[in-house]
Structure 1
Amino acid sequence: MKSLLLVLLWLLPGGLLAQTGTVAGTVRDEQQRPVPYASVAVPAAGLGATADANGTFTIANVPPGAVRVLASAVGYTAVSRNLTLRPGETLSLPLTLAAAPAALADVVVTGVSRATEIRRSPVPIATLGRREISLNANTNVIDAAVRGIPGLSAVTTGPNVSKPFIRGLGYNRVLTLYNGLRQEGQQWGDEHGVEVDGYDIERVEVVKGPASLLYGSDAVAGVVNLLPALPSGPEGRLRGEALAEYQSNNGLVGNSLGLNYQKNGFQTSFRASHRLARDYRNSVDGLVYNTGFRELTLTGMAGVRKAWGSSHWYLTLYDNQQEIPDGSRDSLSRCFTRQVAESGLDDVKNRPLVTDEELRSYAIGPLHQRIRHYRVFSKTQVALGGGELHLLLGAQQNQREEFNHPTAPAQPGLALRLSTFTYDVRYHLPEWQGLEVSVGSNGMGQLNRHLNATDFPIPNYNLLDAGGFVLLKKPLGKLEVSGGLRYDTRLVNWADFYVAPNPATGFDQAAGPAQPDAVLQFPAFRRRYQGWSASLGASYVATEQLTLRANLARGYRAPNIPEIGSNGLDPGAHIVYLGNRGFEPEFSWQQDVGVLWHQSEVDASVELFHNYVQNFIYQARLQDASGQPVVIVPGNVTYQFQQAAARLYGLEASLNWRPAALPWLAWSSSAAYVSGESAQTNLPDHQIEAARYLPLIPPLRGRTELRATAPARAGRFTGTYGRVTLDGSARQNRFYALDNTETATPGYVLLGLGAGTTYTNRDGRAVAQFIVQVDNLFDTAYQAHLNRLKYFEYYAGTPNGRSGIYNPGRNVGVKVLVPF
């Protein structure tokens, strides 16, 4: 650690003591009325502030030189201004926002290296801000992003486990970042969620399509970057927010306290959040047994921001106890039952019924998983040689335990500890005749180890990953061209891993080769994977309203550990996975074409894509020579990973309208469609059609919202709104039908209602914000196609004709936010 600090101090230029400047001003609408609580930021410097009730803002400690200021607010088009700030200067900057609900002018850095407007990025990027996240009743931040970003979906296992999918691809093909740090938490597992405090997320940025150029392997489908809030407010004053939330469907109780402080360039923040939920409910299943959770998150940051740049250190601690549903029931009453015997003696059709007290209890059941995730990382930005150096260094540890032994509840079946060390260094060269050049390298080292476990689905492994890239961007009048090249290499290895029965417990345990009855479960393995990534794209501002863009990208992904090394039961998924040690890396070629229209009243966009993936890795049920399913562990199905070419294509479209004659009204609508087809050639003729489509492809989905916001006027209440939402999914008939792996899913439409307001004091400062949201108002019974619980069924037929577990029913969510 001392060496690292010395290196960072050595990098700082001699201008360490140079003065910073201040940007202040007001945010108003086109009628010159104040826009209360607008967000104002200097994105390149990571600085921001929230305007007060009169639209006034101040951003201190802004590095001198060329500065880009961005202002945004819900219901308005974001606006940016370029200015030059001298050391010690205070600039007064009036900002005017035009009424429009879209955010095509938002500035992003995810997927484009330097700050870039969304409309000028050839790579499709979408964003979702804190305000929109807060308006919904979500059980995790991924679900919140899915509601607001077309093309983003999630595979779910109950209400608190959601894995992001982008355009039909997920797991290790989507890279999830927390403030730029890659999230590493055994994300290959079906029931493994994202270990992030949703209350702390200020903004979500999603790259739709291969982002391997900047991030390497695992970003072949895209990136989800979860960005926490930065300190804001006046110098030398402690600011904060207290939040309380309740949701009726699963009795969720959430509380969060956030604090931040800044003075003379020093910045610090802290947040503590706790959430507790019992089993959720729907009109078909009633209360769904073992779907509750208990979650605690602590987040801290300290840093400095000076004229030379900035350096911030982050520490997060996440602790989640998540129940594991298995869907077992009584065959006639359809009441849920619970496991009381070990798998060898368990008779799933004669389990005892779950009592009403157990269904309504907030206590975590004996069969559950516990996930503890710890992060420490630093982000440093330094002005160097006329350019900018960005350095991220991080370490994180994920400890995951799945308790699946009813006769020994303290004994975990799965117990893994994943330690990951990450670096990301980028240098933005000084601009030369409009040409912007960025070079960089990022990578990681990993060690994954079994602890006190009885199930061993993957081996202990070591992983080293590194890659380097160069990215160029050049404006040519109305045309802006960008592209780059990257090379990656990954080394994976593990030693022989033996398993033997433990005479004292009767369960399996890790063993040495000389131990009696030891079985070699994972033979030693060592292999290096490598590949090239590339991207070439352009955006063309045809008119002030019309922007055209296109991008061609080659993505690369090395096989993950389960795909090459699996050989065991995943208790939470009820599946025995078998890997394939001969896999080659996946390579994709994706083409994107987009048309974006922007004017004061209307924003519209259409994005089309086509993605061809070589060596696509998927799961298929294992069969013997006679075509019968192979059963290795009774009561659990057996899958083996396979490779074949795949093709995905689809589109996303959005339309946002805010009529000038009705400035208080806003209408937004979006739709997303993706189709994924496999090119398997090693199947009998009668199975080819059943295996035509890829698994876990979301159906055609649309969302529309009508929102009315009361005009600003004198009084204690401001920002009062009401909204109506419709979420619809079409029937999914394009599914992976081989071996009855997936089935068709009926379509559904869900109606939601919401309202909210902010209560202010006599000085116009917010005292409390109130939000009420009702989802699935008519308590519609439905199953999302990407809901894994849909397939948790033990019987071929049921008395009510409905199989599997259904999604949550009606939910009333209430939030109270108190800023101070």
Structure 2
Amino acid sequence: MSLSVMAQKLSLKGLVNSQNGPVENITVKIVGFNRSTRSDSTGHYQFNHLSSGNYDLVFSGIGYQSKRVKVTLQRDTAIINTELLSLSSNLNDVVITGVNRATELRKSPVPIAVISRKSIDQNVNTNLIEAIVKGVPGVTAVTTGPNVSKPFIRGLGYNRVLTLYDGLRQEGQQWGDEHGIEVDEYAITRAEVVKGPASLTYGSDALAGVINMIPYTPNIRNGELKGDFTANYQSNNGMFGSSIGFAYHKNDWKYTFRATGKTAHNYKNKIDGLVYGTAFREYNLSAGARVDKTWGSSKTAITYYDNLMEIPDGSRDSISRKFTRQVLDDGDDIKNRPVVPESDLNSYAINPLHQHIQHFRFYNTSQFKFGTSDLNILIGGQQSVRREYNHPTLPGQAGLYVVLNTFNYDFKYNLPDFAGIESTLGINGMYQGNRSKAATDFPIPDYDLFDVGAFYFAKKSMGKIDISGGLRLDRRNIKWDDFYVGTDVKTGFGKQVSATDATGELQFPSFNKNYYGLSGSLGFTYNLSEKLLIKANIARGYRAPNITEIGSNGLDPGAHIVYLGNRTFKPEFNLQEDIGIIAYLKDADISMELFNNNIQNYIYQSRLTDADGNPVVIVPGNLTYQYQQSKARLYGAEVALNLHPVTIKWLNFNTSLAYTVGLNQNQELLTKYGREAKYLPFIPPLQVRTEIKATAQKPIGIFAQPYIKIDAAFFGDQDKFYALDNTETFTPGYTLINGGIGSTLKSRKGKTFCDIFLQADNIFNVAYQSNLNRLKYFEYYNQSPNGRSGIYNMGRNFSFKVIVPI
């Protein structure tokens, strides 16, 4: 009895360290016993109630080499401290997007790419999505000027790509063609991209993939205050950007704060000159506080986004091709407007016809630890306010004025490991309500939406094979009441009215419908060796139709489009197969990914024409699009090569290729129109990006690791386009040459003064139009004197950026 009592008093504890300090979430197992624990936020671990004797401890964690330690336990308490070595970052990046537990990049069968802050800083970007497009093969963007980029993954976009901010769904008015992502690009330190259906974790709207934008998390010593100041100037549109951020650590608490501002006048190219209606002014504020305790952690954060942004309508003088502007409401003739004065083209002032977008975000994410399991809770509230001003005679009157309020919830319980299986149960969703305010145009009705979904996810490692997968069931309800639109007798513009108003017409009859989705995935990674992997995954995704696809019936003044929806649409479902081969060699990293994606009930836009084939004009000067639904198939490949010769450490060569084909499988249209209806709209052409970079391995005076690089972006002809009703036209290919130099400036004592980046995009000022540029189709004449149609992309652009630590 006395020996038994003594055995229960023996303890084993210690500290897990690395070169960067204490390490949390390291699993510590006692070999041969069903005993394991994890290191806490301070790196400490502890076992109690052990018997005396010899033990083998195994320390393992994401991004670290596993370590085995022999222990002899004789006294009441034994202290075993250990230091773990980091693994090569290209083999074991920690990812948290599209999966439910932190996992190593090499073990995930789902195609995932990661782009760092360093990569973002070393490119010329006017927004965050543009930076991701340049850094991740297979990701493109539909653009409307320099400040609006809607992400597409492997040819699918809009509500099929789910964007996250720190794990929270980004909920704005994503349905609009010119509605961008409301995120501060200077606040993001890392972006993770899931390429393929991720409905298992997030439910509807992740049919094509997920982009998670992760803000800065401080990793500083207790009592330390750090910060940085960023300044950026770009020559093409005169953009000035500045951002200042601070981080403070005190005991168990970490605090962050950031403020950002950007302003730009119209951009230019050698065909159009200065493009009227492309100026913008953006402000961002964010703050957060995180506490780490033995029971887990909790983070609360708030963000504010405010953007004044112009959108061009493309109106011009027919002979001079100079841009014109609308000055009348009644009697406006889009082909007979006054020319914009030269002084207004270079002005930073926002013109009266513009958009004002505000986004507020408040959320809390917490983790509660229970031994070898943990509960993760994310709760957030968002408000998106969008005003689009389109009345020159009454500039203070918004054409579109909508307010979207969203409440998000996400609960995930990571169960204790059982027989080597790591599993997660979860339930998440959202409630949102969208309301029109004092507007004159109503493209969509006021609606309420409620989402709920539950899932189970599991993964297991069996020798050289890592397997993961799961199932999910979703339900979405969308409803709205009768919505009447009448006439304001004072202004003559439209307004929302009651059913009893004599001027009112029923624009949106009431609607109430539930959508259900079953989704899931199953995949494996086969480690042929430490350096060679084969990955395969099959996933079923689900997306309920968005509000504009089922409910739209009116003008979106910012997009210059009249949308017509279809209330009978069914949810989209897709089945995507992925296979990839990845080799991590001594002098090179090589990867090849192939995908095949079949979609049921695919929804897309098509121009509306009459019986004679002429475009239907409901609102003069605005295009009319009607949504269609059919089967579709997308397939393609992505290949990447990263050369980093061991014997030539200063040299790095990267090249990537991405190719996607999108096929419209609407047999009725194919039979009637043939090739004109064969392909899907907004499919990117063949793209090849190549970069050669030389980095000094030793300081040159005050310059630490200075680099010089040159890169080329080749875009092939896009002759596989949706040509029916001239929805799209042929787009010739082009090549852009870019370059840059940069360095960290340090004193002889090693103190960092700043980081500087000098870069140039489109060095040879090539005149080009991307097939994903909506401005390509902003044209109101069948012919023009210079033989050019639509608006061209940005010309040569020099950028200077400096980051000063505080």
Q: TM-score, normalised by structure 2?
A: 0.92
Q: Equivalences for 1:735-750 in 2 at 5 Å?
A: 735-750=721-736
Change (3 A) 1:693 1:152: same
SS in 2 for 1:414: strand
Aligned to 1:111: 98
Q: Equivalences for 1:198-597 in 2 at 5 Å?
A: 198-342=185-329, 344-384=330-370, 386-597=372-583
SS in 1 for 2:558: coil
The yes-or-no answer on 1:601 pairing with 2:594 is no
Shift of 1:69: 6.2
- Per mean C-alpha deviation after superposition, the further-off stretch among 108-117 and 172-181 is 108-117
C-alpha distance in 2 between matches for 1:769 and 1:582: 55
Unaligned 5+ segments in structure 1 are 1-17, 27-39, 46-58, 71-78
Shift of 1:105: 2.4
The yes-or-no answer on 1:182 pairing with 2:163 is no
Assess if the C-alpha contact under 8 Å between 1:142 and 1:154 holds in 2: yes
SS in 2 for 1:348: coil
C-alpha distance in 2 between matches for 1:488 and 1:443: 9
Deviations 1:286-345 (A, max 9, x none): 110010100000000012012221000010000000011111111111111111011x41
The yes-or-no answer on 1:786 pairing with 2:785 is no
SS in 2 for 1:682: helix
The one of 17, 28, 35 equivalent to 1:23 is: 17
Unaligned 5+ segments in structure 2 are 1-11, 27-39, 47-57, 72-76
SS in 1 for 2:744: strand
Deviations 1:389-444 (A, max 9, x none): 11100000000000011111110000000000000110111112211111101100
Shift of 1:384: 2.1
C-alpha distance in 1 between matches for 2:394 and 2:150: 30
Assess if the C-alpha contact under 8 Å between 1:657 and 1:668 holds in 2: yes
Shift of 1:60: 7.0
Aligned to 1:35: none
The one of 610, 614, 636 equivalent to 2:600 is: 614
Shift of 1:500: 0.4
Shift of 1:67: 7.2
- Per mean C-alpha deviation after superposition, the further-off stretch among 85-94 and 725-734 is 85-94
Aligned to 2:30: none
Deviations 1:354-398 (A, max 9, x none): 111100000001111000000000010110253011110000000
Aligned residue pair count: 765
Aligned to 1:799: 785
Change (3 A) 1:514 1:812: same
The one of 64, 81, 88 equivalent to 1:80 is: 64
Q: Equivalences for 1:3-152 in 2 at 5 Å?
A: 23-25=17-19, 61-62=42-43, 64=45, 80-82=64-66, 93=83, 95=85, 103-152=90-139
C-alpha distance in 2 between matches for 1:621 and 1:24: 59
Shift of 1:487: 0.1
Shift of 1:717: 2.0
Deviations 1:714-769 (A, max 9, x none): 84321211101111100100000000110111111111110001111343131111
Change (3 A) 1:639 1:280: same
C-alpha distance in 1 between matches for 2:697 and 2:170: 42
Q: Post-superposition, which runs of at least 4 consecutive aligned residues in structure 1 deviate over 4 A?
A: 18-22, 40-45, 65-70, 82-92, 94-98
C-alpha distance in 2 between matches for 1:401 and 1:562: 17
Aligned to 2:54: none
Change (3 A) 1:713 1:361: closer
Assess if the C-alpha contact under 8 Å between 2:303 and 2:361 holds in 1: yes
The yes-or-no answer on 1:700 pairing with 2:686 is yes
Change (3 A) 1:642 1:770: same
Shift of 1:82: 4.2
Bigger Cα Rg: 2
Deviations 1:191-229 (A, max 9, x none): 000000000100000000000000000001000000001
Shift of 1:629: 3.1
Change (3 A) 1:700 1:67: farther
Change (3 A) 1:43 1:529: farther
Deviations 1:130-185 (A, max 9, x none): 10011111000000000000000000000010000000000000000000000011
C-alpha distance in 1 between matches for 2:184 and 2:471: 34
Deviations 1:44-100 (A, max 9, x none): 69xxxxxxxxxxxxx973464797666xxxxxxxx53346999998967474776xx
User: Which letter does structure 2 place at the counterpart of 1:269?
Assistant: T
C-alpha distance in 2 between matches for 1:664 and 1:577: 54
C-alpha distance in 2 between matches for 1:493 and 1:679: 30
User: Which letter does structure 2 place at the counterpart of 1:206?
Assistant: V
| Percent pairwise identity | 53
C-alpha distance in 2 between matches for 1:669 and 1:203: 21
Assess if the C-alpha contact under 8 Å between 2:481 and 2:509 holds in 1: yes
Change (3 A) 1:799 1:631: same
Assess if the C-alpha contact under 8 Å between 1:612 and 1:646 holds in 2: yes
CA RMSD in angstroms comes to: 2.2
SS in 2 for 1:242: strand
Aligned to 2:49: none
Shift of 1:263: 2.2
User: Which letter does structure 2 place at the counterpart of 1:390?
Assistant: N
C-alpha distance in 1 between matches for 2:253 and 2:24: 18
Change (3 A) 1:479 1:684: closer
C-alpha distance in 2 between matches for 1:110 and 1:817: 28
SS in 1 for 2:454: strand
Aligned to 1:6: none
Assess if the C-alpha contact under 8 Å between 1:23 and 1:90 holds in 2: no
SS in 2 for 1:510: strand
C-alpha distance in 2 between matches for 1:596 and 1:89: 41
Change (3 A) 1:257 1:20: farther
- Per mean C-alpha deviation after superposition, the further-off stretch among 616-625 and 742-751 is 616-625
The yes-or-no answer on 1:734 pairing with 2:720 is yes
C-alpha distance in 2 between matches for 1:684 and 1:168: 20
Assess if the C-alpha contact under 8 Å between 1:43 and 1:115 holds in 2: no
Assess if the C-alpha contact under 8 Å between 1:278 and 1:291 holds in 2: yes
Assess if the C-alpha contact under 8 Å between 1:44 and 1:68 holds in 2: no
Change (3 A) 1:235 1:434: same
The one of 652, 655, 658 equivalent to 2:638 is: 652
C-alpha distance in 1 between matches for 2:333 and 2:79: 76
Aligned to 1:75: none
User: Which letter does structure 2 place at the counterpart of 1:669?
Assistant: T
Change (3 A) 1:529 1:815: same
Aligned to 1:724: 710
- Per mean C-alpha deviation after superposition, the further-off stretch among 383-392 and 162-171 is 383-392
Assess if the C-alpha contact under 8 Å between 1:305 and 1:311 holds in 2: yes
Change (3 A) 1:109 1:243: same
Aligned to 2:33: none
